[in-house]
Amino acid sequence: MEKSLSLSFEEIYQSRPEVLSFAPGRVNIIGEHTDYNLGYVLPAALNLRNYFLASRRKDEKISLWTENFKQAEEFSLQEISFSRKNHWVNYVKGVFWILEKEGFNLHGINAFIWGDIPLDAGLSSSAALEVSVIYGLNTLFELGLDPEKMALLAQKAENDFVGVKCGLMDQFISTLGEKNKALFLDCETLRYELIPLYLENAKLGIVIYDSGVKRELASSEYNKRRFEASSALDILKRYGVKSYKDVDLKMLQERREEMDDVLYKRARHVVSENQRVKKAVEALKNDDFLLLGDLLFLSHESLRDDYEVSCPELDLLYEMAREFSGSLGARLTGAGFGGSGLALVEKSKISDFKEKIIQEVKKRGFIRPRVYKIEIGDGAKAYWLDKEEIQ
């Protein structure tokens, strides 16, 4: 892979790249829409990645090529402005923008971008792009940033430049993930623990179901859900609550009359999802995948009914997994409104599960999805191509 990408870089720029970095996409095992509500999440890094190759220039121009879209973009460090033409470049511009704002001394670069993370599938291709860029720049310009700081800056780039008020989960797992481990993260304190995810030992696999439904409503509805959950929390704060982690379902029920139906449902999802994440951590520590599967089903029901971010195509995965004897659990993953879902399936029955889904999708007249087994991979890395040094 490294050699092929380096040759592609040389074809475009007629020079060799100095640095290669990569960052993975993620699958969130459980803990959806809890990250920006400063709750608990349990993501894992994928073996699908975004790659960033770069070399220094003598001027202040940033020259980019994305192999996925076959598009070139250029901008100057002196004028980093939002692009309405090519949305992908804003994630790159946002990283340069935040680093400049933080006072780092950057220079122009030639860069090549390629990734194998499905786009608009809820697998965090945008965070992987941001993290791969900031890792590459950290190495190329010797900025001295640690992984946690890079995750925070990448999130800030997406919040303040791109304009998506995402939580920290995607950037954090992209930097700190490890092979065959999930990351239990408290999004308020940023305390985290790597939890073994021994799927192979249990003869299980994670199947990703990319519904093919573009998440066209995700940005506006995502911000709306964030506002609704925050509004419900403001009511609870009148009674000494600091965050959703301080709330249980009994306490929430006691304040039911002070909220309208929408705010109550949004709060109920966040509170119950936080509880499910903690139960999932204990399930993984005990290799109790039956319990984990049940929690996945409950998570989807809550996302569908209380947070209202599902769609018929994602509900289909849940329904099929409920009926299929080799499936332990399933739910939508990511922001919802389309994108992807995940299912926990016995390895020996994954092919049958895929075939069953494709048949049912065809019967219902839905878009043909992509269904594939994924592996849990490592977090981001960057290194010099002419050195053995890994950073």
Residue 77: C-alpha distances to residues 80, 81, 150, 155, 230 (Å): 6, 10, 19, 20, 36
Instruction: Tell me whether residue 200 is annotated as binding.
Output: no
Residue 249: C-alpha distances to residues 240, 243, 298 (Å): 16, 14, 15
Instruction: Tell me whether residue 222 is annotated as binding.
Output: yes
**Tokens representing residue 167 in the block:** 């939580």
Instruction: Return the sign of the alpha-carbon dihedral for residues 353, 354, 360, 363.
Output: negative
Instruction: Tell me whether residue 81 is annotated as binding.
Output: no
160 is a catalytic site residue: no
Instruction: Tell me whether residue 189 is annotated as binding.
Output: no
Q: At what angle do helices 289-305 and 261-285 cross, to 10 degrees?
A: 170
Instruction: Tell me whether residue 352 is annotated as binding.
Output: no
Cβ contact 34:333 at 8 Å: no
Distance CA(136)–CA(129), nearest Å, equals 11
- Identify the active-site residue in 116, 146, 160, 170: 170
Cβ contact 310:215 at 8 Å: no
CA angle 192, 182, 215 (to 5 degrees): 100
Look at the block and give the residue holding tokens 């992807």: 340
Instruction: Tell me whether residue 35 is annotated as binding.
Output: yes
Instruction: Tell me whether residue 300 is annotated as binding.
Output: no
Distance CA(280)–CA(287), nearest Å, equals 10
Which helix (H) or strand (E) segment holds residue 209: the answer is strand 204-210
Residues placed in the known binding site for substrate: 32-35, 222
Q: Which residues are catalytic, by number?
A: 170
Residues placed in the known binding site for Mg(2+): 126, 158
Residues placed in the known binding site: 32-35, 126, 158, 222
